[in-house]
Structure 1
Amino acid sequence: MPVVQVTLTEGRTPETIRSMISGVTQALVDSGVAPREAVRVLVTEIPTDHFAAGDVTITERHAAQAATTTPEEGQS
């Protein structure tokens, strides 16, 4: 019985996560690893302020990107 652990940052819709679970399951079935009923998929969602790369959290990275993005002049 294969167990697949997927870790993602929070923010995806339940429908997106459900679709991902189906895709992962189908990939294992299609590759002959196991029958559908034997596949287990575990999804863990991590807050963006609990996930960092290079000592910068995703929350911090998004804030920095937002601070450097300026609205186009004349746009309403």
Structure 2
Amino acid sequence: MPIVMVNIKEGRTVEQKRAMVTGMTKVVSETMDVPQSAVRIIINEMKGENFAIAGTLVCDAPAK
């Protein structure tokens, strides 16, 4: 049973997450030769205060 963990910054919609897990489940099922029912996906959402890029917390970075 493949288990995929995905870390993303919070703010994605349920529709975006639904589309992601649908696509990922299909790809994992096909590449690992397992039924889709065996694929597990765990989504971890991080607040900007818990994620940094190049030494700067995302919550402190200027908006792009």
TM-score, length-scaled by structure 2:
0.88
How many pairs are equivalent? 64
What amino acid maps onto 2:54 in structure 1?
G
Q: Distance in 2 between matches of 1:59 and 1:33?
A: 40
Structure 1 alignment gaps of length 5 or more: 67-76
Find runs of 4+ consecutive structure 1 residues off by over 6 angstroms. none
After superposition, what is the alpha-carbon deviation per residue over 1:2-55, rounded to whole angstroms, capped at 9, x for unaligned? Answer: 000000000100110011011110001222431101000000100011100222
Work out whether 1:16 is the aligned partner of 2:10: no
SS at match of 1:31: helix
Supply the distance in 2 between the matched residues of 1:31 and 1:42 (Cα, whole angstroms). Answer: 19
TM-score by length of 1: 0.75
Opposite residue 52 of structure 1, the aligned amino acid is A
**Percent of pairs with identical residues:** 31
- Say which structure is richer in strand: 2
* Unaligned residue ranges in structure 2 (runs of 5+): none
Higher relative contact order (CA 8 A, sep 6+): 2
